[in-house]
Amino acid sequence: MQKNTIISIIISVALIGGTFYFISDRPVSSDREVVQLQNVEIRDGIQYVTIIAKGGYSPRITEIKGGLPTKLIVKTDGTYDCSASLIVRSVGFQKILQPTGEEIIDLGIPKSGDKVQGICGMGMYNFQIKVS
């Protein structure tokens, strides 16, 4: 009995630890650079940030410049999961996005040091835009 209890506790701790490591919210540092080049674009003095919403948001973290009028474009493509119900609290945006399409959200002129966070209705997916 004693031995079984110990084995059980070891397996349980390993499972909990492994699962937490797996799902915990940690920044993906390696491909941030690449992603930043692809999804931020400045056209006619307006900064556009593109986020793809499907089974979560990508990229998870984007860095943008402050002091420019900024618009967030959320693209959906056959998206029916939670990421379609988007909340961007700092600009008071709440909407269930069309399964396929683009939603343009005005972020105003973000100041340097700001953080814009988007989260899905159930709270299991999120993304961040950092203003540098």
Partner 1 sequence: MKTYTFHVSGTHCPSCKIFIEDTLNEQIGIQQTRVDLKNETVSLETNLDESKHKLAEILTEKIKHNGYSLSVEKKAKEKKDDGVIWQALPIGLAFLALFFIVQKSGVLNFGLGGTVTPVTSFIIGLVASVSSCLAVVGGLVLSLSATVSQDKISDVKPMMLFHSGRLISFAVLGGVLGAIGSAIGISFIATAILGVIASVVMIVLGLNLVGVFEKNMIALPSGVFSFLRKVEHKTIAPFLVGVGTFFLPCGFTQAMQVAALSSGSFLSGFLIMTAFALGTLPMLALLSFGSASFAQSKHAPLFFKSAGVLVIGLGAFALLAGLAGLGFINPLFSI
Restricted to residues 62-101, the positions that interact with partner 1 (CB under 8 A) are 77-85, 87, 89, 94, 96, 98-100
Choose one: 6-14, 41-49, 65-73, 105-113; the region binding partner 1 (CB under 8 A).
6-14
Instruction: Closer to partner 1 by CB, 48 or 93: give it.
Output: 93
Binding-site member from 38, 55, 65, 108 for partner 1 (CB under 8 A): 55
For the CB of residue 3, give the shortest distance to partner 1 in the complex, in Å. Answer: 10
Under rule CB under 8 A, residue 8 binds partner 1: yes
- SS3 state at 65: coil
Each as own residue / partner, the long-range contacts of residues 32-36 (CB below 8 Å, 24 or more positions apart, any chain) are: 32/59, 32/61, 32/63, 35/59, 35/62, 36/62, 36/63
